[in-house]
């Protein structure tokens, strides 16, 4: 009897280990892991990003095609000096870009902005899948939620889908500056990793009505707005009526 119970315990433990390994490593092999992601994130900030910090204080998260979190890092040596709230936002942006992109359609979170505003066709979409705060790391640390589906939906710049050989394999979310700067960093990280969609690095680029004309995919300008290394001379709209 004791021997049978011991075998049962080993089998259960082995099953649990296999599940944990699948949850934390399964389907993440084609995606940047933490060390590579940190290097790419730091390297993307070169003083031509704009925003408040030129993209130097960022969280980045990567999910696989199943939406499972594969890696999450902060670009600063002390993660407490990157906005704590941006950890959840980066994870939610990665989830969102993966959730609404396909092999034939790369859809950055920046492109979803107008669709999700009041009076537009996807208004209230953000309430359909809430972020799970159980998958956050404590302030000042990295990680939290690996192998889990964190959920959350964000509809402004900073989330981009990831591709290999024309096939979507997951997504990247970046947060820690203005949403426009977040998009620039995410785009650069994806490009440096060689994980662009078929249309290239700018296939799902952020657009501004003052420069590109208004469309259903338009994103508002941010403080100190740059795009692809060029200062567009745009800034956040001032308050009106209060």
The pLDDT tens digits for 104-134 are 999 999 999 999 999 999 998 988 888 999 9
Domain boundaries, the chain: 31-234
* Class of 31-234 in CATH: alpha beta
Q: Which residues of the chain have a pLDDT value below 70?
A: 1-26
Question: Could you tell me whether strands 225-227 and 159-164 are parallel, antiparallel, or unpaired per DSSP bridges?
Answer: unpaired
Tokens for 151, please give them.
């959920």
| Cβ–Cβ under 8 Å, residues 98 and 28 | no
SS3 202: coil
**Residue found under tokens 């979507």:** 168
What pLDDT score was predicted for residue 140? 82
What pLDDT score was predicted for residue 26? 55
Q: Which residues contact 107 (CB under 8 A, 6 or more apart)?
A: 97, 100, 101, 161, 204
Burial of 69 (0-12, 13-18, 19+ CB in 10 A): buried
CB atoms inside a 10 Å sphere around CB 47:
10
Give, rounded to a whole angstrom, the gap between the first and last alpha carbons of the chain.
Answer: 76
């Amino acid at each position: 009897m004791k021997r049978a119970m011991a075998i049962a315990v080993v089998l259960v433990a082995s099953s649990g280990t296999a599940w944990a390994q699948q949850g934390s490593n399964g389907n993440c092999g084609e995606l940047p892991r933490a060390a590579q992601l940190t290097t790419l994130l730091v390297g993307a900030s070169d003083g031509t990003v704009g925003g408040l910090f030129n993209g130097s204080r960022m969280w980045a998260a990567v999910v696989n095609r199943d939406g499972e979190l594969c890696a999450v890092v902060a670009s600063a040596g002390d993660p407490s000096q990157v906005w704590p709230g941006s950890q959840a936002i980066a994870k939610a942006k990665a989830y969102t870009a993966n959730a609404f992109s396909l092999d034939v359609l790369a859809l950055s979170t920046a492109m979803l902005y107008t669709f999700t505003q009041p009076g537009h066709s996807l208004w209230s979409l953000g309430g359909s899948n809430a972020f799970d705060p159980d998958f956050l790391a404590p302030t000042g640390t990295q990680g939290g939620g690996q192998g889990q589906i964190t959920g959350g939906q964000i509809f402004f710049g900073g989330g981009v889908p990831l591709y290999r050989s024309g096939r979507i394999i997951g997504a990247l979310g970046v947060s820690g500056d203005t949403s426009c700067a977040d998009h620039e960093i995410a785009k650069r990280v994806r490009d440096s990793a060689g994980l662009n969609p078929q249309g290239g690095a700018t296939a799902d680029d952020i657009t501004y009505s003052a420069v590109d004309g208004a469309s259903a995919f338009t994103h508002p300008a941010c403080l100190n707005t740059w795009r692809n290394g060029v200062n567009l001379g745009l800034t956040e709209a001032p308050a009106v009526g209060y």
